[in-house]
Chain A
């Protein structure tokens, strides 16, 4: 699930935990995007382990991360952050109980000179991360909105060759 595969120029990585309520949103987004985008774009599901993410970001120019975030906005709100330029963003991502999470992975990749040319995070503001719960209504709506934005981003990246 978290293994690297292929050398696509764009890679979409959905991050989350399938059994922790709204934290599953990144994984669900990845699954739906895989159906929608087909084999033209590499789509990966990841569990949020920072060091695995470091590897998953390797070898491509353009990475789109999708994850549940807690930034104080309304549940379900989709936010876009360009991590290639923005580095004061860690507070937008919920604390991981692991020693390294997504924020640390991006920072470490930057320090090691391994950050892809462009890394964009689509964050869906979460409502609840209750164990065993399904997605909240608000986050389901946010997922639909976020997916549209990711698809547009993928299209733009292909058309304009902005990478």
Chain B
């Protein structure tokens, strides 16, 4: 409970709007100083890690796809890569390309939803995407069509547009024909142009003045913008194999949230589009690179409100990458490679739209899961969001409590948090007080 007294002020947001899942915020200020910032995630624990135990590895992609309706591909990709690592196999060639293409679809879909309907209203002074659509009908229609282009690609590769069903360890249950992919090209070309417009549009938004010194963390492969693999790098010199994630990133429980907090060397870090761009700007596709340079936002992105620009640049990248992959696509002879399970442990990290998503599985010799660990991007960003708020609140204290709360909510939305994903198994510990 906040301390009582005339000098104590509490900024509370009962339920965060325009984010996935249920969360709340409580900030306590005493004598002009921020005492407590608690980003509360009260979505119930999901127990996914627990109920993966005992399941056969072939069931894992379909189970983890159910963790999130917005980023199921990320869950499937981290799972299949981790399991393939446990089985000492690697998927290469056209099947690897198709996985990247599937990831493109998810980024387009997820980023377009966030940029247009969830985040843009904050910059243009609307309470919701619906309110904004009354004045900006064509713009919202453009965003919806852009999202739909991602949906269509996802439905083609994944079998359906929500919780795709085609992903399996070793490849896919079905791969698309050339003609099927060619059928999407015209729409993706339109979407690429719309994405370029999107970058220019959001770069022109007026952003609140605010700067933070971030530690950015993301996958940073040598020769491509990251989706499925690559070492984990940070802006502070970290460069490690994704298998060593848990040696560097630590999770801890906080009493007010069902999501665990992640830290890197004891401090917060930022995952997601701004971090990916920071560590991979040179690996952007040509038009995305040009559009990013044109915005003149520059690196590092120290103002979190510019995340919308990075996110939009990634939509453009995903469309260029999708068109490139489709152009060079030669259907593989088999839709997947044979899998021989063996006892072992596999870990993998892939880039969900919101940032790194880490999975670890221990598997027995028959391919049954003995242990599962999942660290989603929103729980990695949770500590960073709180640090941002701690620094941001003093500059909005002159506002009414309601407006200050709104300002905080806008800052939280820069991270596109997916609260349903972040909720975690809550370990119950019974502490007995001594007399």
Cβ contact of B144, chosen from A1, A51, A99, A107, cutoff 8 A: A51
- Smallest Cβ-Cβ distance to A46: which chain B residue: B162
The answer on a CB contact under 8 Å between B69 and A108 is no
Residues of B within 8 A of A97 (CB): 20-22, 43, 420
Contact indicator per residue, chain B 147-172, by CB within 8 Å of chain A (1) or not (0): 11000000100001110000000000
Contact with B along A1-42 (1 / 0, CB 8 A): 111000000000000000000000000000000000000000
Contact A55–B19 (Cβ < 8 Å): no
Contact partner of A112 (CB less than 8 A), chosen from B20, B22, B137, is B137
Judge whether B160 and A1 touch: CB under 8 Å. yes
* Chain A residue contacts of B137, Cβ below 8 A: 111-113
Output the least CB separation between A152 and chain B (Å). Answer: 32
Q: Does B284 belong to the interface (CB within 8 Å)?
A: no
Encode A51-66 as 1/0 by CB contact (under 8 A) with B.
1101100000000000
How many chain B residues touch A (Cβ–Cβ < 8 Å)? 26
**Taking the complex as formed, is A141 at the interface, i.e. its CB lies under 8 A from any CB of chain B?**
no
Interface pair B162/A108, CB less than 8 Å apart:
no
Q: Roughly how many angstroms separate A99 CA and B129 CA in the complex, as a whole number?
A: 11
Tell me the minimal C-beta distance from B225 to chain A in angstroms: 26
Beyond A47-B69, A111-B137, A112-B137, whether A2 also contacts B19 by CB under 8 A is no
- In the complex the two chains form, what is the Cα distance from A104 to B144 in whole Å? 14
A107 to B144, CA, bound (A): 14
Rounded to whole angstroms, the CA-CA distance of A44 and B133 in the bound complex is: 27
Instruction: Say whether B260 faces chain A, with CB atoms less than 8 Å apart.
Output: no
A104 touches B130 (CB 8 A): yes
A108 touches B148 (CB 8 A): no
Whether A108 lies near B19 (C-beta < 8 A) is no
Q: Is B232 an interface residue (CB 8 A)?
A: no
Within 8 Å CB of A111, what residues of B? 130, 133-134, 137, 140
A-contacting residues, B1-45, CB 8 Å: 18-22, 43
**Nearest chain A CB to B45's CB is how many angstroms away?**
11
Restricting to A50-98, which residues have a CB under 8 Å from any CB of B?
Answer: 51-52, 54-55, 97-98
Interface of A is mostly: loop
Q: How far is the CA of A153 from the CA of B162 in the complex (A)?
A: 30
Given the complex of chains A and B, what is the CA–CA distance between A50 and B17 in angstroms?
A: 15
DSSP majority for the B interface?
helix
A125 within 8 A of B: no
B113 touches A112 (CB 8 A): no
Shortest Cβ gap from A83 to chain B (Å): 14
What's the nearest-Cβ distance from chain B to residue A23, in Å? Answer: 14
Q: Give the residue name and chain of the A residue nearest to B132 (CB).
A: A111
CB distance from A136 to the nearest CB of B (A): 20
Type the 1/0 row for B76-118, where 1 means its CB is closer than 8 Å to any CB of A.
Answer: 0000000000000000000000000000000000000100011
> Cβ of B297 < 8 Å from any Cβ of A?
no
Query: In the bound complex, do residue B161 and residue A107 qualify as a contact, i.e. CB atoms below 8 Å apart?
Result: no
CB of B141 closer than 8 Å to a CB of A:
yes
| Beta-carbon contact of A51 and B113 below 8 Å | yes
Chain B positions within 8 Å of A1 at CB level: 160, 162
A108 to B21, CA, bound (A): 20
Least CB distance, A102 to chain B, in whole angstroms: 13
Which of A2, A51, A100 sits near B160, CB closer than 8 Å?
A: A2
A127 at the interface (CB under 8 A from B): no
- Bound-state Cα–Cα, A147 to B117, Å: 34
Whether A112 lies near B140 (C-beta < 8 A) is yes
Cβ-defined contact, B147 with A51, below 8 A: yes
Chain A nearest CB: distance from B111 CB in Å?
A: 13
Q: A2-B161, A2-B162, A111-B134 are in contact. Are A54 and B21 (CB under 8 A)?
A: no
Residue of B69, B113, B155 near A3 (CB, 8 A) is: B155
Query: Once the chains bind, are A52 and B161 in contact (CB under 8 Å)?
Result: yes
Partner of B148, one of A55, A99, A113: A55
Report whether B113 and A108 are in contact in the complex, using a CB–CB cutoff of 8 Å: no
Instruction: Point out the residues of chain B lying under 8 angstroms from A104, CB to CB.
Output: 128-130
**Chain A, residue nearest B418 (CB):** A99
Q: What separation, in Å, do the CA atoms of A98 and B144 have in the docked complex? A: 16
Nearest CB of A to B151, in Å: 8
List of B residues within 8 angstroms of A98 by Cβ: 20, 69
User: Taking A2-B161, A104-B130 as contacts, is the C-beta distance between A54 and B144 under 8 angstroms?
Assistant: yes
A1→B162 CA distance, assembly (Å): 9
Interface core residue of A1, A3, A99, A104 (most chain B CB under 10 Å): A99
The answer to whether residues A112 and B118 also contact, given A52-B162, A97-B20, A99-B113 and a CB cut-off of 8 A, is: no
Chain A residue at minimum C-beta to C-beta distance from B131: A111
A54 / chain B contacts, CB cutoff of 8 Å: 144
B-chain residues with CB within 8 Å of residue A49 when the two chains form the complex: 69, 162
Please, which residue of chain B has its CB at the minimum distance from the CB of A104? B130
Residues of A within 8 A of B18 (CB): 99
**Chain A residues with CB under 8 A of B161:** 2-3, 52
Closest 8 A/B residue pairs (Cβ)? A111-B133, A107-B130, A108-B130, A111-B134, A97-B21, A99-B18, A99-B20, A99-B118
9 more contacts with CB within 8 A, not counting A2-B162, A99-B19, A100-B129, are A2-B160, A51-B147, A52-B161, A52-B162, A99-B113, A100-B117, A108-B133, A108-B140, A111-B134
27 pairs across A/B with beta carbons < 8 Å? A1-B160, A2-B160, A2-B162, A47-B69, A47-B162, A49-B69, A49-B162, A51-B117, A51-B144, A51-B147, A52-B161, A54-B144, A97-B22, A97-B420, A98-B69, A99-B113, A99-B117, A99-B118, A100-B117, A104-B128, A104-B130, A108-B140, A111-B133, A111-B134, A112-B133, A112-B140, A113-B137
